[in-house]
Amino acid sequence: MGFDYEKYIRPGKLPHIWCPGCGHGIVMKGLIRAIDALSLDKDKTAIVSGIGCASRLPGYMDFCTLHTTHGRGVAFATGIKMARPEMNVLCVGGDGDGVAIGGNHFIHACRRNIDMTYLIMNNNIYGMTGGQFSPTTPFGAKASTTPYGNPDPPFDIAKLAIGAGATFVARGTAFHAAQIEKLLIEAIRHKGFSVVEILDSCPTTYGRRNKFKSVVEMMNQLKESAVPVAAAEKMSPEQLEGKVLTGVLYKENKPEYVAEYGKLVTRVQESMAG
């Protein structure tokens, strides 16, 4: 037997809604393998999302799943984690959901360092609404709302996360499928707010408009542009031009929010007891 993904997928939910060549399915498989490797208790694990193609992921997963409003997944997840600290809380979504409409929630969750993992599937586009440019669409790229090329400079999600105080930040790609699992295992194990950005493919609404002949070309671009952090250390700035770093980009141990709040509760209750 190969790996039994369907053990973690709700009966009858496959095939999923994602388009041919969409990398979200690859990422979901990485997430499932990570959950399996960590033996997370299905009953004690919540998977939360916002709105968009990537945010449809929880519906397939046989866990406590919450498909919320656009960009708000992390805020709902924060409520779950505060109310039930014993639960594993995973949040998933896309680039528009996470860093445009949900940008405020994202940076504050990073700052708070609340123990959850936020998996962002970054395909550089609003796919579900038909391909409008997102905050990660590259400068000059075509989208339905940038017919003459994108005049907006993009966010670097990983840098944004690090700047906002996330204590674990990693990046992978949908092409580097085995790495997704490894990054997620490390992220979920990390005590604090962990961000895993997976550079993803949207052949339907991004690829077509931007001269990618097929998803294979998009995958090849992910393959060629990704440079593992260790390799990048030995490369010159010229060699790194146009590349993206992958792997664990940042990690530090800092007080975690829910644990700190728990200490506060204990302190208050002890002082009441006299």
Partner 1 sequence: MSKKVAFLQGNEACALGALYAGCRFFAGYPITPSTEVAEVMAKELPKVGGAFIQMEDEIAAMAAVIGASLTGIKSLTATSGPGFSLKQENLGYACITEVPCVIINVMRGGPSTGMPTGPSQSDVMQAKWGTHGDHPAICLVPASVQELFTETVRAFNLAEKYRTPVTVMPDEIVGHMRERIVFPEPGELPVINRTAPSVSPQSYQPYDTSFGDIPPLAAFGSGYRFHVTGLNKAQDGFPTTRADIVQAEEERQVRKIENAVDDIVTYEEYLLDDAEVVVIAFGSIARSARYAVNAARKNGIKAGLFRIITYWPFPDRQIRALAERAKAVIVPEMNLGMTVHEVRRCVEGRVPVSGIFRVDGEPISPNEIFARIQEVR
Partner 2 sequence: MEKKQPEIKIIEKYCKGCHICVEFCPTQVLEMRGFTAVVKNPDACIACMQCELRCPDFAISVTK
Residue (10 or 159) nearer to partner 2, CB: 10
Work out how close the CB of 3 gets to partner 1 at its nearest, in angstroms, rounded to a whole number. 21
Place of tokens 């990054």: 183
Rounded Cα–Cα distance for residues 229 and 46 (Å): 31
Q: Which of residues 102-141 bind partner 1 (CB under 8 A)?
A: 104-105, 107-108
Q: Tokens 């700035």 appear where?
A: 237
Q: Is the peptide bond before 153 cis (omega within 30 degrees of 0)?
A: no
Which stretches of 94-214 are DSSP H helices? 95-96, 103-112, 157-164, 177-189
104 contact choice in partner 2, partner 1, none (CB below 5 to 8 Å, kind-dependent)? partner 1
Handedness of CA 160, 166, 170, 173 (dihedral sign): negative
Cα–Cα dist 140/82, whole Å: 42
- Residue 253's binding partner, choosing from partner 1, partner 2, none, with beta-carbon cut-off 5 to 8 A by kind? none
Identify the residue among 15, 147, 151, 237 touching partner 2 (CB under 8 A): 15
The Cα 32–Cα 27 span in angstroms is: 9
Binders of partner 1 among residues 23 to 52 (CB under 8 A) are 42-44, 46, 48, 51
Contact set for partner 2, span 160-179 (CB under 8 A)? 174-175, 177-178
Q: Determine which residue in the list 125, 158, 215, 249 makes contact with partner 2, applying CB under 8 A.
A: 215
Task: Give the nearest distance from C-beta 198 to partner 2 in angstroms.
Answer: 12
Task: Work out whether 77 is an interface residue with partner 1 (CB under 8 A).
Answer: yes
Quick check: 185 binds partner 2 (CB under 8 A)? no
